[in-house]
Amino acid sequence: MAVCSNSSTDQNISTLPLAYLNGKIIFHTYTSYINAATTGNSHLFLFDLGQCSLKGSSLSCQKARQIDQPNWNIVAPMNANFSPDGKSIVFTAEHAVPNGNGNYYWNIYSYQLGTSALPQPIVNNLNGKDRNEDPKFSMDGTEIIFSHNYQIASVPWQPTTSQTIFIETVKGLSVSKQLSMPYLSPNNTQFAFAATIPNEPISPRVMYTDGNSGKTAQLDSGYSYYPIARSNGSLIYINWPLYTTKPKQARKKVA
């Protein structure tokens, strides 16, 4: 299986057993995050590993399939996450504010894969005053955690009903109010998230808390994004060293 490490060295694809070439990957592409709404150049794609075949060190696969459609009436879908049963996804997208002179707002949506149903907003945001983004399912599929106006929030999961928002408790953190990219631990008692450190507003860091004691772990320098909390207490996240042209790297740390 693929091995996580602090090294950026690629693992040879030929060392992966065929048994691991299954499942699906959902991802997004865009040419510019800043202009994603006005240009409409962000799209969701579904990649089926089950359609791949391995020949020596070469992997042959079918093309990824675009998920979002023009009749969804939203733009810039991104940051999708599978439900535990694989039947639904949640994601962030922008929608034009009614009578908002072309302004857009971020909200979170759910979509049932393989159906003709349109995506449904998970929370109501018709006036465009709130910023909701980065939704992730809990491991048991009972709730969705997300960023709500740069706070960590959650809602019970029901596929077709907008829910009441619950603000999660984050105590004892010496960070600014810009909290985002939350990810629940497998037992739903902890969550990892990215936060902007005071006096370093352009440098998000991965933090980790249990919500009660305010325990945190500051990991690495530079830009760190999208932490994933694992059952063994470690985090997987993306790190990009500050002020360099070095590529983004996947990292693993024990919090």
| 113 and 227 share one domain | no
| 125 and 212 share one domain | no
Task: Dump pLDDT digits (tens) for 99-124.
Answer: 455 567 888 999 999 888 899 888 87
d(CA 139, CA 127): 31
Q: Which of 114, 137, 168 is the last residue of a domain?
A: 168
| 220 and 157 share one domain | no
Number of domains in the chain: 2
Task: Dump pLDDT digits (tens) for 172-212.
Answer: 454 556 778 888 888 877 788 887 766 664 455 666 666 55
The answer as to whether 35 is a domain residue is yes
- pLDDT band per the 50, 70, 90 thresholds, residue 2: very low
CATH number at residue 126: 2.120.10.30
What number of other Cβ atoms are within 10 A of residue 41's Cβ? 15
What average pLDDT score do residues 240-255 get? 56
| 147 and 200 share one domain | no
| 164 and 47 share one domain | yes
Spell out the long-range contacts of 134-137 with Cβ–Cβ below 8 A and sequence spacing 24 or more. Answer: 134/79, 134/92, 134/108, 134/180, 134/181, 134/182, 135/79, 135/81, 135/90, 135/91, 135/92, 135/108, 136/81, 136/90, 136/182, 136/183, 136/184, 137/81, 137/82, 137/83, 137/84, 137/90
| 107 and 193 share one domain | no
Question: What pLDDT does residue 7 have?
Answer: 47
Q: Which of 143, 168, 193 is the last residue of a domain?
A: 168
The answer as to whether 6 is a domain residue is no
Evaluate whether 228 touches 235 at the Cβ level (below 8 Å). yes
Dihedral sign (CA 160, 44, 147, 94): negative
For 214, which DSSP code? Answer: -
| 78 and 149 share one domain | yes
The answer as to whether 142 is a domain residue is yes
| 196 and 72 share one domain | no
Predicted TM-score (pTM) of this structure:
0.79
Residue 223: CB partners within 8 Å, gap ≥ 6? 203, 204, 239, 240, 241, 242
Q: Which domain holds residue 207?
A: 183-255
Range from 53-62, 182-191, 244-253 carrying the lowest mean pLDDT: 244-253
| 108 and 137 share one domain | yes
The answer as to whether 177 is a domain residue is no
The answer as to whether 138 is a domain residue is yes
Question: What pLDDT does residue 229 have?
Answer: 82
Q: Where are the beta strands (DSSP E) in 123-233?
A: 132-137, 143-148, 151-156, 166-167, 179-184, 191-196, 204-209, 223-229
What average pLDDT score do residues 7-18 get? 50
Question: What pLDDT does residue 30 have?
Answer: 87
Q: Where are the beta strands (DSSP E) in the chain?
A: 24-29, 43-48, 53-55, 58-60, 65-66, 75-82, 88-96, 104-112, 120-121, 132-137, 143-148, 151-156, 166-167, 179-184, 191-196, 204-209, 223-229, 234-240, 249-254
The answer as to whether 40 is a domain residue is yes
| 45 and 157 share one domain | yes
What average pLDDT score do residues 78-94 get? 93
What number of other Cβ atoms are within 10 A of residue 33's Cβ? 11
| 24 and 78 share one domain | yes
Task: Select the more confidently predicted residue: 110 or 151.
Answer: 110
Nearest CA to 190 among 208, 217, 172?
A: 208
| 162 and 38 share one domain | yes
